[in-house]
């Protein structure tokens, strides 16, 4: 009897203490996201999954469309008054979830909050902003410190999200626990690691295009399990499906998949002058890096690892971007030239080099493909699979020779290049410094004409393919799987799921 008492006591302990009665209404969309979001505060947020949730909670001043054009959202229109002044006409009758109105003062409050709040991760993004002028309740002007054409694109993401000043002041640093924005859905509940629930906002400015009553975001880290949940009917949509699983989705009559363009890239970052480790021939001599690059066939990597689904590139923006320079094409594989360059550099082969890469199966496979291709040119490639956070630290500290790492991408090309190759920039882990490239990069920021900027980016790509701080390998695709019941999905290259316009059939 007594062991039973012991068990009964343990059973009593196991009764969950907190329960939030929750039955989902009809038209509830369940989305599987690849991780749990961080703080749901646009000023503090730093994760991609957080942006998925913001896509339903927080509208932005401007958004991007499928062709990466910047289109109005909370702003009705925008114009450059001069090269340093950006004017927004706000949409009238926009309300935050707490019923307060969006006006010029609210926009000023939000930009000041991004700039001044402790822990703000937006500060760097809008660092070019000098001040905001409220012209009238529906007109604001953002005055920049210097001409800065990429500034507008920053407002298509979290920097352009508007939160209720009243709620933000009341909640202080805890605002992220109960965000109040002006998006189509309002925050209802969050159970960390389990779900984030948002409900339709009846006073939304474009409520006619909101067809769902509730959206539930469920973090499921493993993509295979995320897909299994979708197949079992526990989810309606799942983001970031892995390329090998595309066939499974296509074979399932209850599912469909959207495969569409991606803003980022994956590439090999070469350590040129970062850290205190002894400088290897790869670090010292651009010819050695060029030889390495010539030994690699990008198309072969894409074919072997991703069934040809991705596109090889030799610049940091994908081919559909208005900033893509078509004249800069990936060089073909040329082993003879690679060997000649190594001989010219006076390098004794086989030359031992080390590639640091994340522990995921596909990245390891890329490492192995590179290893076998580079061997033919005289490189003895060692692969060092490293847990991602450790890899980031090693890369920042310069404790690596070559690092295989990607970038999620930004709508404006500046977000894919400036911080990575401008001397002294925070993401320049190569510690590459070329004054000519720096000058070109500065010119791209001052120039507002897209064609002129594209030409400048083309020049930068040509030079950076010679110096090789980064060898761009390929641009990925967004892969979002969903039930056939889901309709109205609009594929936008940032990969986010815009819930406005989505429908859920029976």
CB of 407 to other proteins, least distance (A): 8
Applying CB under 8 A, among 225, 375, 436, 450 the residue interacting with other proteins is 225
- Residue 431 binds other proteins (CB under 8 A): no
Applying CB under 8 A, among 115, 309, 383, 427 the residue interacting with other proteins is 427
Q: Per-residue contact track with other proteins, 350 to 369, x per CB under 8 A?
A: --------------------
User: Token pair for residue 354?
Assistant: 């080390």
Size of the site for other proteins (CB under 8 A): 66
CB of 431 to other proteins, least distance (A): 14
Residue with Cβ nearer other proteins (295 or 475): 475
User: Based on the number of CB atoms within 10 Å of its own CB, is 143 exposed (0-12), middle (13-18) or buried (19 or more)?
Assistant: middle
Q: How far apart are CA 2 and CA 359, in angstroms?
A: 49
Which residues 120-179 are close enough to bind other proteins by CB under 8 A? Answer: 120-121, 123-125, 173-174, 176-177
Query: What string of DSSP letters covers 192-212?
Result: TTTEEEEEE-TT-TTGGG---
Q: How far apart are CA 118 and CA 408, in angstroms?
A: 25
DSSP code, position 233: T
- Residue 392 binds other proteins (CB under 8 A): yes
Q: How far apart are CA 281 and CA 451, in angstroms?
A: 38
CB of 141 to other proteins, least distance (A): 25
CB of 316 to other proteins, least distance (A): 14
CB of 55 to other proteins, least distance (A): 17
Q: How far apart are CA 477 and CA 474, in angstroms?
A: 10
**For residues 216 and 196, is the Cβ–Cβ distance under 8 A?**
yes
- Which region among 42-50, 58-66, 310-318, 469-477 touches other proteins (by CB under 8 A)? 42-50
**For residues 150 and 141, is the Cβ–Cβ distance under 8 A?**
no
CB of 374 to other proteins, least distance (A): 27
Residue showing tokens 């692969």: 383
Helix (H), strand (E) at residue 461: helix 450-467
Q: How far apart are CA 158 and CA 7, in angstroms?
A: 50
Q: Backbone phi, then psi, for 204, in 5-degree steps? A: -65, 145
Which residues 11-30 are close enough to bind other proteins by CB under 8 A? Answer: 11, 13-22
Q: How far apart are CA 440 and CA 447, in angstroms?
A: 10
Applying CB under 8 A, among 360, 390, 484, 490 the residue interacting with other proteins is 390
Q: Per-residue contact track with other proteins, 270 to 289, x per CB under 8 A?
A: --------------------
Q: Backbone phi, then psi, for 433, in 5-degree steps? A: -145, 115
Applying CB under 8 A, among 169, 170, 207, 221 the residue interacting with other proteins is 221
CB of 360 to other proteins, least distance (A): 13
Q: How far apart are CA 381 and CA 351, in angstroms?
A: 8
Applying CB under 8 A, among 138, 197, 394, 411 the residue interacting with other proteins is 394
CB of 245 to other proteins, least distance (A): 13
- Using left for φ > 0, alpha for ψ between -120 and 50, and beta otherwise, residue 5 falls in alpha
Applying CB under 8 A, among 47, 242, 280, 371 the residue interacting with other proteins is 47
- Residue 220 binds other proteins (CB under 8 A): yes
CB of 176 to other proteins, least distance (A): 6
Q: How far apart are CA 236 and CA 462, in angstroms?
A: 44
CB of 203 to other proteins, least distance (A): 28
User: Token pair for residue 391?
Assistant: 């890899």
Which residues 397-426 are close enough to bind other proteins by CB under 8 A? Answer: 407-408, 419, 426
Q: How far apart are CA 2 and CA 168, in angstroms?
A: 55
- Using left for φ > 0, alpha for ψ between -120 and 50, and beta otherwise, residue 200 falls in beta
Applying CB under 8 A, among 131, 329, 382, 393 the residue interacting with other proteins is 393
> Where along the sequence are the contacts to other proteins (CB under 8 A)?
2-3, 6-7, 10-11, 13-22, 35-39, 44-47, 118-121, 123-125, 173-174, 176-177, 191-194, 218-222, 224-225, 228-229, 231-234, 387-390, 392-394, 396, 407-408, 419, 426-427
């Amino acid at each position: 009897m007594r062991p039973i008492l012991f068990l009964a006591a343990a059973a009593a302990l196991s009764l969950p203490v907190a329960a939030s009665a929750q039955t989902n209404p009809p038209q509830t969309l369940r989305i599987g996201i690849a991780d749990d979001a961080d703080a749901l505060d646009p000023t503090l947020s730093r994760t991609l999954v957080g942006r998925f949730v913001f896509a339903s909670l927080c509208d932005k001043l401007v958004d991007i469309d499928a062709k990466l054009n910047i289109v109005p959202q909370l702003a009705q229109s925008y114009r450059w008054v001069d090269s340093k002044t950006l004017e927004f006409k706000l949409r009238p009758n926009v309300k935050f979830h707490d019923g307060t109105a969006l006006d010029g003062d609210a926009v000023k409050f939000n930009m000041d909050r991004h700039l001044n709040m402790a822990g703000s991760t937006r500060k760097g993004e809008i660092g070019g902003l000098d001040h905001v002028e409220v012209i009238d309740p529906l007109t604001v002007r953002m005055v920049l410190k210097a001409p800065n054409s990429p500034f507008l694109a920053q407002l298509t993401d979290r920097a352009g999200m508007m939160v209720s000043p009243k709620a933000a002041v009341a909640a202080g640093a805890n605002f992220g626990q109960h965000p109040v924005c002006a998006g189509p859905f309002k925050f209802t509940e969050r159970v960390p690691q389990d779900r984030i629930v948002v409900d339709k906002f009846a006073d939304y400015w474009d409520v006619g295009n909101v067809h769902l009553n509730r959206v539930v975001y469920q973090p499921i880290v493993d993509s295979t399990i995320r897909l299994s949940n979708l197949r079992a009917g526990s989810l309606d949509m799942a983001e970031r499906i892995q390329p090998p699983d595309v066939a499974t989705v296509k074979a399932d009559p209850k599912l469909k998949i959207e495969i569409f363009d991606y803003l980022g890239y994956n590439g090999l970052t070469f350590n040129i002058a970062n850290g205190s480790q002894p400088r290897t021939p790869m670090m010292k001599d651009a010819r050695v890096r060029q030889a390495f690059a010539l030994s690699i066939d990008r198309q072969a990597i894409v074919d072997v690892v991703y069934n040809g689904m991705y596109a090889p590139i030799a610049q940091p923006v994908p081919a559909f971007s208005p900033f893509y320079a078509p004249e800069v094409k990936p060089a073909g594989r040329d082993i003879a030239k690679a060997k000649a360059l190594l001989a010219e550099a006076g390098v004794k082969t086989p030359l031992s080099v080390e590639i640091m890469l994340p522990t995921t199966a596909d990245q390891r496979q890329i490492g192995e493909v590179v290893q076998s291709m580079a061997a033919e040119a005289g490189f003895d490639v060692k692969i060092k699979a490293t847990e991602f956070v450790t890899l980031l630290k090693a890369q920042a500290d310069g404790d690596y020779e070559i690092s295989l790492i990607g970038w999620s991408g930004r709508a404006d090309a500046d977000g894919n290049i400036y911080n990575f190759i401008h001397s002294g920039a925070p993401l320049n882990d190569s510690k590459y410094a070329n004054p000519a490239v720096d000058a070109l990069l500065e010119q791209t920021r001052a120039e507002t004409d897209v064609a002129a900027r594209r030409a400048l980016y083309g020049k930068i790509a040509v030079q950076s393919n010679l110096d090789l701080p980064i060898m761009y390998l390929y641009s990925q695709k967004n892969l979002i799987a969903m039930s056939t019941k889901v309709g109205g999905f609009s594929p936008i290259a940032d990969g986010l799921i815009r819930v406005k316009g989505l429908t859920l059939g029976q």
